[in-house]
């Protein structure tokens, strides 16, 4: 009889092979974790770069808006206040003391009238920079006041209603929102030939919404995007820049009834930039 030898591997070989497999498995896991970590770090750097680029865009937009406001203010002072003050100086020239009493009184009265006009002009410029109603009473009161003045003309029926504005935004954001609304309303009054304009405000899912309806000629989103890229769309560029500063969005569309045009402003309920600053201070 012949006996076959057992071909089963010895325990030592099994142990060595098992250990080798474990090393390979552990090594594979380590390599995977290192590659994954490197991928995560690269992704985080990409996000940081995108955030930095976004902040740079916001900063540039803010600087451009401030520069446009300065240029407008300089133009108002140069074109309006400058000539008035120069005229007042003419009335107060060195020959004033040589005039008779009647001519002297007339010169003083003319100078006083010019100074009053200059004071009114400077007051109007100041109000344009920061409307008193907005500063003292907030966005709702400023918008309501604007719409009451428009409706008081008797040409356009303008109305507004704020549903969820118990807590005011900070002063800077209120001013930016008011400027956007103001620019949109000016465009509607100039170009749409509307018979009515209605504005509503509400909060939904931590988002702040303002919607403006009107029954005149309007534009759609594609028109806004096209005009925003053209030289003629300066007012629309200002609106886009202001919305980017607030990390908000604006959309142009027809109402569901296809009867009216609707403009929707959507922005975070709270200021994202302020939240980022607070987090940095806490960290």
For residues 60-88, average pLDDT: 69
Contact yes or no for 121/81 (Cβ under 8 A): yes
Q: Which long-range contacts (CB under 8 A, 24 or more apart) does 234-238 make?
A: 235/183, 235/186, 235/187, 238/65, 238/68, 238/179, 238/183
Which ranges in the chain are annotated with CATH 3.30.565.10? Answer: 132-283
CA dist list (Å): 261 to 108, 136, 154? 54, 32, 21
Give the relative orientation of helices 234-245 and 221-229 as an angle to the nearest 10 degrees: 100
pLDDT above 90 covers what percent of the chain? 23
pLDDT at 84 over 80: no
- Residue 154: what are its φ and ψ, rounded to 5°? 80, 0
Distance CA 8, CA 18 (A): 15
Of 3.30.1280.10, 3.20.20.80, 3.30.565.10, 3.30.930.10, which CATH number belongs to 132-283? 3.30.565.10
- d(C-alpha 87, C-alpha 89), whole Å: 5
Give the residue, 63 or 90, on which the prediction is more confident.
90
Pairwise CA distance, residues 125 & 119, whole Å = 10
- Quick one: pLDDT at residue 282? 37
- pLDDT tens digits, 205-243: 889 999 999 999 998 999 888 887 775 666 787 888 888
Does residue 279 register a pLDDT over 50? Answer: no
Query: Is residue 194 within 8 Å of residue 155, measured between CB atoms?
Result: no
The mean pLDDT of 48-58, rounded to a whole number, is 66
171, 135 in Cβ contact below 8 A?
yes
Helices 101-129 and 11-76, packing angle to 10 deg: 160
Q: Name the burial class of residue 214, with classes exposed (0-12), middle (13-18) and buried (19+) by CB atoms within 10 angstroms of its CB.
A: buried
Helix, strand, coil fractions of the chain, as percent rounded to 5? 65, 15, 20
Q: Are 176 and 165 in contact (CB under 8 A)?
A: no
For the chain, what percent of residues have pLDDT higher than 70? 78
């Amino acid at each position: 009889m012949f006996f076959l030898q057992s071909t089963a591997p010895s325990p030592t070989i099994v142990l060595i092979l098992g250990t080798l497999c474990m090393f390979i498995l552990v090594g594979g896991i380590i390599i995977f974790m290192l590659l994954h970590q490197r991928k995560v770090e690269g992704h985080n750097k990409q996000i940081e770069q995108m955030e930095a680029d976004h902040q740079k865009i916001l900063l540039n937009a803010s600087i451009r808006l401030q520069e446009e406001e300065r240029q407008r203010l300089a133009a108002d002072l140069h074109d309006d206040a400058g000539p008035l003050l120069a005229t007042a100086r003419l009335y107060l020239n060195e020959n004033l003391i040589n005039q008779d009493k009647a001519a002297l009184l007339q010169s003083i009265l003319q100078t006083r009238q010019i100074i009053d006009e200059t004071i009114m002009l400077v007051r109007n410029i100041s109000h344009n920079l920061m409307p008193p109603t907005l500063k003292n009473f907030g966005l709702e009161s400023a918008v309501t006041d604007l719409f009451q003045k428009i409706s008081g003309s008797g040409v356009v029926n303008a109305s507004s209603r704020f549903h969820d504005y118990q807590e005011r935004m900070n002063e800077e954001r209120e001013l930016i929102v008011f400027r956007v609304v103001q620019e949109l309303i000016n465009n509607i009054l100039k170009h749409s030939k509307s018979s009515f304009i209605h504005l509503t405000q509400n909060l939904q899912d931590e988002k702040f919404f303002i919607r403006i309806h009107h029954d005149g000629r309007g534009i759609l989103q594609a028109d806004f995007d096209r005009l925003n890229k053209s030289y003629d769309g300066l007012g629309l560029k200002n609106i886009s820049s202001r919305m980017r500063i607030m990390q908000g969005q604006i959309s142009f569309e027809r109402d569901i009834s296809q009867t009216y045009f609707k403009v929707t402003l959507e922005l975070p309920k709270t200021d994202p930039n302020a939240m980022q600053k607070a987090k940095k201070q806490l960290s």
